[in-house]
Structure 1
Amino acid sequence: MARLWVPHRMVYVADHHQPDHTDCPFCEAPKRSDEDALIVARGETAYVLLNLFPYNNGHMLVCPYRHVSLYDEATREEVAEVAALTQVAMRVAREVMGCQGFNIGMNQGEIAGAGVAAHLHQHIVPRWAADSNFFPIIAKTKALPQLLGDVRASFAAAWPHP
């Protein structure tokens, strides 16, 4: 098995401060405008926003409004809406960006690598056949072809409204 050593990622693992509900970015985002908070869509119990530090172009997060840290602490309604919003986000990303696949998942707890372990969130990372290169490893830089505000606007415009 080949291994890529990425010591620049230690900042996400080594920072032991986890926000509580008073300084949580996922509790604060819904209080701001969609454009300012990079929110793509709002549901009843959960919402979708762009990751401020994306792994790839179009990297979205689905978060419940309620400050809950683990998946098994979420209500049935929250779990159902996170799943439904994830499906819509995938469809929108394919329509807007023509992505060919996705990485979807949740890191539960600090030990599992969650950057904000105190507030449940699911990652939706669009992927393309040739979206990886040496830049993130050698230069500690990820080349993203679009500004976050432009991506948010295109996703929000394509998001179906009931």
Structure 2
Amino acid sequence: MSTPEARPAGPSADWARADVATSAVGGPSAGGVPADGPSRIEDARDLVGVPDDTQRLWTPHRMAYIGGENKPKDPDDGEQCPFCAAPGKDDEDALIVHRGEVAYVVLNLYPYNAGHLLVCPYRHVADYTDLDDAEVREVAELTRTAMRVIREVSHPAGFNLGINQGPVAGAGIAAHLHQHVVPRWQGDANFLPIVGRTKAVPLLLADTRRMYAEAWPAPEGP
């Protein structure tokens, strides 16, 4: 096997090489061992445009999520918190489905599945144990109502319900508590999220918000 040349430190177009062990007449074999003959190092620039058997679904819009575009720089500052800012906007702009007394329901801007709702207290509080009794009751009631509305409109096979408590548990914005209500359908965990790390969400957020808001039950009279 030939030995790669020593490379200078730092990126350089002249050193854009692919250290891929390939056989003299074919591709790599199992385990990286050449199947028929000595291996060589090929210049990656010679392979541009060569097709392979991998399909690609380009999702550049997700770069906003990956780059943390909407995350507050100071997570403890309520003025930067999107869950604090949302109630001050129009329902359509903020994707709010329902406003309660001490909590509200809003669509997840980066949904795992179509119809992914969040139940948030208005108060900027991080931990579930810090909710007062009224907030605990309304978060629970809104979660139950959200399930009923989603069942009526979207007919899921089941749900994931939960609170990611803290960054280590997966909370994107850990400083403001939010309960996830995620509808699930048979087969929604197919090859796209498992292999491609991509979710196909067929319904626009604005349409989802409108349908859920229209189906949300009116408050009962005194």
- Equivalent residue for 1:66? 123
CA distance in 2, matches of 1:16, 1:25: 8
Determine which structure has greater relative contact order: mean sequence separation of CA pairs < 8 Å that are 6+ residues apart, divided by chain length. Answer: 1
2-structure distance, mates of 1:49, 1:85: 11
Offset at 1:129? 1.2
- 2:138 corresponds to 1:52: no
Determine which structure has more spread, i.e. the larger CA radius of gyration.
2
CA–CA distance in 2 between the matches of 1:67 and 1:55? 24
SS of 2:160 mapped into structure 1: strand
Normalized against structure 2, the TM-score is what?
Answer: 0.65
Structure 1 residue ranges without an equivalent (≥5)? 1-8
Q: Which has the higher helix share?
A: 1
CA contact (8 A) 1:18 1:116 kept: no
Mapping for residues 111-122 of structure 1, pairs under 5 Å: 111-122=168-179
| TM-score, length basis structure 1 | 0.88
SS for the counterpart of 1:126 is: strand
Structure-2 residue corresponding to 1:36: 93
Q: 1:111 offset after TM fit, Å?
A: 1.8
Structure 2, unaligned stretches of length 5 or more?
Answer: 1-64
Distance of 2:192 and 2:153 partners within structure 1: 25
2:93 partner amino acid: D
Alignment length (residue pairs): 153
CA distance in 2, matches of 1:32, 1:17: 21
Find the partner of 1:93 among 119, 126, 150.
Answer: 150
Q: Which amino acid letter does the alignment assign opposite residue 159 of structure 1? A: W
RMSD: 2.1
